[in-house]
Amino acid sequence: MGFAIADRLPETYESEARLLVGPLSADKDTLSAAGAQARTYAALATTKPMLGAAARRSGLGGSATALRGKVRDVTASDVTRLISIRVRDSDPARAATIANALAAVLVARASTGPPEGKLHVVEPAAAPRNSIGPSASLIVPLAAVAGLLGAFGIVVLVDSLTTAVRTEGDLAAVSPVTVLGSVNGARPRRGDRALVMEAEPHSAAAAAYRMLATKISLSNSERPLRSLLVLDAHGGRSSGRLAANLAAALAEDGTRVVVIDGDERGGVMELFQHEGKASTEMVQRARPLRIGQLTFDRFRLRGPRLIVIQRRKPSEPLYPQQAAETIEHLLTGADLVVLTAPPVDGSASSMVWAHAADATLLVAERDHTKREQMTPAVDSLRIAEANVIGTVLC
């Protein structure tokens, strides 16, 4: 914007006329008087009568007020006795004409006085070849600095007004349950692997999942944890990725883990899809599984060696007995069942799975989940008699 403004502003030219007060050489008193007179002439040059006379003399028309806006300044030195008249205008010839007209008016005004007060033009104004502005090299950096400061101010204002959870401290301040930590929910840099635990097993992100898995394993000290529901707070979409990585971390010690992808959006399986279809390099389709009245599609994840099942009709109602029966059936061939479900406010099945699971982990998304949403989410889960062991920031 600064460059556009500088490019469209008319060019400005400055012309200067210089006058000498008094004789070129004289006694000390005469020179001293001439120096004092120089300051008087400089002040007199910008008065309305002098400017009006200069406007008429230049033949350019205009009022004294209009001419005053073009006279940059009139300066005088009591040592050198030189008066400098500088005029700025968009037309170089006009700037020189105005400066010379004002100089001529001053000379005429001083012609009737004593010798020490007379003026002589020592350097008439000439039309300048180069403009003095606008300077794009100055305007553009200043505009850039102003833009950056403005953007920074807006960011600070928005940050002060937002109620989104941004740090573990924000989450701890509003969460009625323990904060178990934070994990990086971003997709790993290696595009051929969907899980951080598989693509970057030695990274800090993988270490965070292992730490979270350890805390969860130790949270139920009275009895072993057999089923865990990973659930987004209001409107989140991180539970699928978190649950899959967490299941992979829990399976590293040989624990047999089955993942129930209970989110109607297929939050776990969509990690392994390309253009809407499951990648055959990462996923092997197994025989469907029938548990009571529910039918599940079954998949084997080749890399992390996990079993993932999905309800064939996820939009149909889910009843507490069906949820408990499903978990109990899966535990006959597994050590741990990790579940996902729609966000707390997204489906009644979330409450049903929370009631059936041994423990529930509530996920907050950084810069998305609102602080005021955490307490109602935990309260809703407690209505379902869920064992909410903590929250995690993704």
In angstroms, the CA 163 to CA 371 distance is 6
Given this model, what pLDDT does residue 157 score? Answer: 86
If asked whether residues 331 and 214 sit together in one domain, one would say: yes
If asked whether residues 107 and 179 sit together in one domain, one would say: no
Domain assignment present for residue 141? The answer is no
If asked whether residues 95 and 35 sit together in one domain, one would say: yes
Given this model, what pLDDT does residue 30 score? Answer: 87
Q: Pick 264 or 209 by higher pLDDT.
A: 209
The alpha helices in 20-128, defined as continuous H runs, are 28-44, 48-58, 64-68, 92-110
Given this model, what pLDDT does residue 24 score? Answer: 84
Token couple for 306: 């996990």
For 318-366, how does the pLDDT look when each residue is reduced to its tens digit (9 = 90+)? Answer: 999 999 999 999 999 999 999 999 888 778 899 999 999 999 999 999 9
Given this model, what pLDDT does residue 278 score? Answer: 65
Token couple for 43: 């002040």
Evaluate if residue 275 carries a pLDDT over 60: no
Share of the chain above pLDDT 90, in %: 52
If asked whether residues 350 and 298 sit together in one domain, one would say: yes
Domain assignment present for residue 1? The answer is no
Question: Which CATH number does the domain housing residue 31 bear?
Answer: 3.30.70.1130
Q: What mean pLDDT value characterizes the chain?
A: 88
Domain assignment present for residue 34? The answer is yes
Q: Which candidate, 93, 122, 97, places its Cα nearest to that of 107?
A: 122
Q: Pick 43 or 2 by higher pLDDT.
A: 43
Lowest mean pLDDT among 155-159, 196-200, 209-213, 318-322: 155-159
If asked whether residues 167 and 241 sit together in one domain, one would say: yes
If asked whether residues 173 and 283 sit together in one domain, one would say: yes
In angstroms, the CA 244 to CA 226 distance is 16
DSSP state of 204: H
- Is the pTM value of this prediction over 0.85? no
Domain count, the chain: 2
For 173-201, how does the pLDDT look when each residue is reduced to its tens digit (9 = 90+)? Answer: 988 899 999 998 887 776 567 888 888 89
If asked whether residues 253 and 105 sit together in one domain, one would say: no
The alpha helices in the chain, defined as continuous H runs, are 2-8, 28-44, 48-58, 64-68, 92-110, 136-161, 168-174, 196-199, 204-219, 239-250, 320-330, 348-356, 371-383
Given this model, what pLDDT does residue 274 score? Answer: 64
Question: Domain residues for 304?
Answer: 163-393
